[in-house]
Amino acid sequence: MNFHICHPGDALRPFVKQFYYWEDDSRGQIQLPQHLFTLGDQYMVFIPEGTAVIKPADHAAFTLPSHAVTGHFTSACQLQVSGPVRMTVVQLNAYGCYRMLGIDGESFTNYYRNLDLHENAVWSQLGNRLQQLRDPQEITAVLNETFQQVLQSDAPCLKQADEMADYLLARQGNVSVEELAKAFQLSRPTLERLFNRVIGMPPQLFARMVRFRNALQQTDMAQWQMPATAYYNLAMFIQDHLQFNGEMPSWYNAPATIAHMPAPAMQQVAVAS
């Protein structure tokens, strides 16, 4: 297996977080590398070789096209990859997809969009260029060039939703919608409408995802203990664990996952970072 984590150019931050390049010559179903998918982020996926099938808990299974962008996964899901596989993955932050592609986030939550059908031909061209490359440094250079080109062009206004998302991240999700609306001097309906359009989910759900991810990152406790700053009772934690991991917690310092391979031990492949 050949797996690389590459850093985008500084000009792309905060919209682009990481580049991943994964190559595996194994045939049949194969296990994904950890850290490939993270709760609360969106991803552009370019697959020159192999297939990837995603089955969200509350949605029909679907096969990703060769060039795709995935919406937020707001529930547990299974991700099955068949090899041999070559895959380049671009990790965007919560509002990076709207900024780069101008697609309303709520229109494909728990689903995907085919980049070959996007009105901007740059994404299809990028996918075709990546098919010819195998060197991680060359792939990183092509990705940086393309994303910088897109950032310099006209793009949809983020309508303060980026500031709202960053505010929730800074507060580790411990903010009510009323507090958020007051902080940004917006009515609750307006705030929720803007947040849904740009981020792709209600602010309440995004705050839960942030709180759950941060709680599991920070805690290194015995099974029965709870991170007091994030959760005030066991029922809330179990409810979020069931939604985002799809199973009851066996111990509370397990990584926060949004996707896992179906295996006897339920191997985790999506880890909060």
What is the distance between the alpha carbons of residues 246 and 209, in angstroms, rounded to a whole number?
A: 14
The verdict on 67 and 20 lying in the same domain is yes
Say if CB 200 and CB 106 are below 8 A apart.
yes
Number of domains in the chain: 2
Cβ-contact 200, 234 below 8 angstroms? no
Instruction: Say if residue 148 is in the same domain as residue 192.
Output: no
Q: Per the confidence metrics, is the pTM higher than 0.85?
A: yes
The pairing of beta strand 77-92 with beta strand 259-260: parallel
* pLDDT recorded at residue 218: 64
Do residue 119 and residue 7 come from a single domain? Answer: yes
Question: 180: pLDDT confidence band, cut at 50, 70 and 90?
Answer: very high
Same domain, 138 and 41: yes
Last residue of a domain, one of 131, 152, 173: 152
Say if residue 75 is in the same domain as residue 31.
Answer: yes
* Last residue in a domain, options 121, 152, 183: 152
Q: CA-to-CA distance for 75 and 43, rounded, in angstroms?
A: 16
Residues 107 and 10 in one domain: yes
| Of 101, 133, 152, the domain-final residue | 152
Place of tokens 């009515």: 187
Return the pLDDT at 271: 40
Q: Report if residue 269 sits inside a domain.
A: no
Is 113 in the same domain as 237?
A: no
We report the CATH number of the domain holding residue 117 as: 2.60.120
The reply to whether 170 and 80 lie within a common domain is: no
The domain that holds 230 is classified in CATH as 1.10.10
What residues contact residue 49 under an 8 Å CB cut-off, 6+ apart? 84, 85, 86
The residue behind tokens 């552009």 is: 44
Tens-digit pLDDT profile for residues 135-175: 999 999 999 999 999 999 877 889 899 999 999 999 999 99
Confirm whether 212 is domain-assigned.
Answer: yes
- Examine the pLDDT at 33 and tell me if it is beyond 60: yes
222 and 108, same domain (yes or no): no
Q: Minimum mean pLDDT among 163-172, 189-198, 245-254: which range? A: 245-254
Identify which of 3, 182, 168 has the alpha carbon closest to the alpha carbon of residue 93. Answer: 168
pLDDT at 263: 35
Q: Would 84 be classed as within a structural domain?
A: yes
- Tell me the residue range of the domain where 208 lies: 159-245
